Homo-oligomer: A and B are copies of this chain.
Amino acid sequence: MACVLQTLPCRKTVSLQRDKLGMQKYFRDAIDKMEGYAPGEQPRRAGGWIKLNTNENPYPPSPMAAKALNEADPAALRLYPDPECRELRKAIAGVYGLRMENVLVGNGSDDILTIATRCFVGEGETLSTLEPSYSLYPVLAAIQGAECRAVPLEKDFSLPADFAKNVSGSRMVFLARPNAPTGNSFPKDDVSKFCADFPGIVLIDEAYADFADDNCIDLVSEHLNVLICRTLSKSYSLAGLRLGFALGSEGLVSGMMKVKDSYNVGLLPQLIATAALGDREYLAEGVMKIRGTRESLSSALSGLGFDVVPSQANFIFASPPGGEAEKLYRDLKDSGILVRYFPGPATGRFVRISIGTGEQTRDLLATIQKMF
């Protein structure tokens, strides 16, 4: 410690060199070395774009959510929100047949992932995940000063048979199911068996599970070491609200409550999310529409010679004939359509396309048809 501080320049020197280098001495080494997470492009000029790059829902949120927003009393904002988010947690517990004590809510599911990393993985310890997967996971490990072990998926993006062996010694595993950006899922039996055998925490990130054929919610009751992470950003069309939650055993949730910021979820997200969660019918209808569009887009692209990964999410991961995915990404952007491209050996032949409305999808297909 004393050594670290002795390498800091004295204040006078720092004042003279107002550059990045001088500044870096203040940050922990782990922070200096890391790159931040790069979110998908959010075009600044409104309108004009067909925005299929950040897995947002093309449909508006439930009218119940809109009503909760419209009826919110501005004067109520002067008071702190409920730090325990009791009403919202009860609503979430009700949806999944669990108790409020099994639910932790966060400022988006990123907040949940951050809290979990801070709870379970210390400096120098190991957080494991898959490659490719959600690119935030290695960033969270880096911030913590932890090692991130990224186990490569098979060529078809399935779970490798030696996955359990490869993550041995980790304190926690982040497993996105369905996975992003690939969109496929992993056999539930394999995941369940892994959870039973793994001696640390398994966080199953189910951001896209409402669009899938099954989910792992019941594993929460079967395994003390399982956390399920969910978000209202995708299936509930509430990315702008920032609301995510974790489901887990009471011991995990109560420990994580100590680490979250006391008032991590504001009054408005508490009110609006509670209302949105109550509208099961609207959720089901929206999910059906998106699954339908997903299947027709997948078929059409396959018909055009694309290699389409079977998707269980609200996006598809598809490789164009010839594999020039970066060119396709740029050409689509030139045509006013934003999709997402992830460079790299495992992902560089693919683009990720969020499922839009029927009309947006027809426009997308018409544009692509002119190219291939």
State the A residues within 8 Å of B (CB): 1-2, 4-5, 8-11, 14-15, 18-20, 22-24, 26-32, 34-37, 39-40, 42, 44, 51, 54, 56-61, 65-66, 69-70, 72, 74-83, 86, 107-108, 110-111, 114, 118-126, 136, 143, 145, 169, 171, 196-201, 223-225, 233, 237-242, 249, 251-252, 255, 257-259, 261-269, 272
Residue in chain B with minimal CB distance to A26:
B201
Copies in the complex: 2
Residue in chain B with minimal CB distance to A136:
B262
Assess whether A241 is in contact with B224, with CB atoms less than 8 Å apart: no
Measured between beta carbons, the chain B residues less than 8 angstroms from A29 are 122
Residue in chain B with minimal CB distance to A106:
B261
Task: Summarize A's interface: helix, strand, loop or mixed.
Answer: loop
Which of B78, B120, B125, B272 is A56 in contact with, Cβ under 8 Å?
B78
- List 6 A-B pairs, minimum CB-CB distance, nearest first: A23-B251, A66-B74, A36-B258, A240-B267, A77-B240, A242-B266
Assess whether B83 is in contact with A240, with CB atoms less than 8 Å apart: no
- Tell me the complex Cα distance, A138–B240, Å: 32
Residue in chain B with minimal CB distance to A30:
B122
22 contacts between A and B (CB under 8 A): A5-B169, A5-B199, A14-B224, A18-B224, A31-B119, A32-B255, A37-B262, A58-B78, A65-B77, A69-B77, A70-B70, A77-B239, A78-B240, A79-B239, A80-B239, A107-B266, A108-B263, A111-B261, A111-B264, A114-B261, A123-B123, A241-B266
Which of B11, B23, B74, B80 is A199 in contact with, Cβ under 8 Å?
B11
Residue in chain B with minimal CB distance to A51:
B79
Instruction: Give the distance to chain B from A76, nearest Cβ to Cβ, in Å.
Output: 6
Residue in chain B with minimal CB distance to A74:
B66
Instruction: Give the distance to chain B from A259, nearest Cβ to Cβ, in Å.
Output: 5
- Tell me the complex Cα distance, A197–B83, Å: 38
Measured between beta carbons, the chain B residues less than 8 angstroms from A20 are 251
Assess whether B125 is in contact with A237, with CB atoms less than 8 Å apart: no
Q: Can you add 14 more A-B contacts, CB < 8 Å, to A32-B255, A143-B259?
A: A4-B125, A9-B199, A18-B249, A26-B120, A26-B200, A30-B122, A36-B258, A39-B263, A42-B82, A77-B272, A80-B240, A110-B261, A239-B263, A240-B266
